[in-house]
Every structure is written in C-alpha cells, then in structure tokens.
Amino acid sequence: MAQVIKGVFPETKKTETKKDEKAVPSYVLRVSIAFSDPLIWRRIQVPGESTLAQLHDVIQQSMGWSDSHVHQFLVGKISYEPTMKSTVIRESKRFDEHKYKLFMLEEGMQFMFTYLYGAGEGWEHEITLEEVVLPARELKHPLIIAGERACPPETVGDIHEYQALLAASENPDSTTGNRLQDLAGHPDFDPALFDLEASQKRVSVLR
C-alpha cells in the first residue's frame, strides 16, 4: 500500500477589508459674494476628493466668472493658491492649492473659508460649509444645486462699485444709469436673473 505523504502548505490568508476605513464625504457649500445686497450666491455639492484647484473651477463656472484674474483661498488661517515656479527659495505661509483636497481641510472649512478673486479690491466670496454628506454612492463630479442673482460683470472692480452701479441703474434721472449694461457687454443684462440650467451645464463638464 502506497504511503500518503501529507504536505505542509501555508494557509491562504483572506484579504480583509478595513472596516474602519471611512468613506470620503462630499460637501454642500454655499458660495456668496461678500457685501452683496441682495445676496449673490450659489449652492454647490463637491466631492471630498476634489482639490482646492478643482473647487476654484467649480466656483468660476457656477458663478459665471471667466477665470481671467488671480485668486486664492483662505482656509482656517492658511492661504492656498496656485504655485508659481521660481528659482528663488523663500519661506511662505501660502500653500499649493493643487495638493490639498477638501476632506483634508474639513476642520478649517468650518472655521473660516474664503475665496478671493480679482486684482486690487477684487471679489471676496464667503464659503459656508452647510452639510457633510456621507455617500451611499460616491459623488463623482460636482453639482450646482441652487443660486440667486446674476454674476457681476468682470469689468467692474469690486462689489462696492457694482452696488453703486445698481443704484444708479434704478434711478431714471441718473446719467450713468446705462453704464452697468455697457460694462456687462449686452443691453439686456439683468442683475436679478440667475440661469440655473446654464450654470449646471457649465459645471457638468468638470471632473
């Protein structure tokens, strides 16, 4: 009778998933132009894996800006912006917006979250973290949910100049009443109009 030789083989270990690994949430943010009255705002939902650089694109498209000026974010007490290549080594409190994802900055977003766009006085946007959404299914791309009022013309320097133009346009006796339409580049510019569908189409191409 042949002898059966039992081999000793290492046990195959089953691959275990990390049960404690948290899914990355998405964030519902309200982006509003500071000091605007009536308030100019957009509500967006952005994946937590999005970088600040990608959030910049979402804000641009949701608001209706043309990304033709400099910008930066303030999250917590730290400034984030696009890095510029330089041979000069210098210390800076500013960080590269391409390297930081929203889920990494969740705590700071609840403390202070600001987006600055434009040279000089420019346009200050207050960003409010309205909701942290734990995904039943991962959000793959940003969404725009709601908003009010048109994006100001970029030929206007800041919100204070824009408010003055709005006031002048409402005064039939003002000689500068039509200047706002001239700066907007079309005579049918309506400051009260927000086209959600058009904004959604612009944002839908972003990934």
Query: Within 10 Å of residue 86's Cβ, how many Cβ atoms?
Result: 7
Partners of 116 in the beta sheet? 72, 124
Residue 101: CB atoms within 10 Å: 18
Peptide bond between residue 152 and the one before it cis (omega within 30 degrees of 0): no
Instruction: Output the pTM of the full model.
Output: 0.83
pLDDT digits 0-9 by tens, 145-183 = 999 999 999 989 999 999 999 988 887 666 665 788 888
Sequence-separated (6 or more) residues with CB below 8 Å from residue 62 = 31, 42, 44, 144, 147, 199, 202, 203
| Angstrom distance (rounded) from CA 55 to CA 85 | 22
50-79: pLDDT as tens digits: 999 999 999 999 999 999 999 999 999 899
Count of CB atoms within 10 A of residue 81's CB?
Answer: 20
Tell how far CA 69 is from the center of its chain: 15
**Top CATH class, 26-153+190-204:** alpha beta
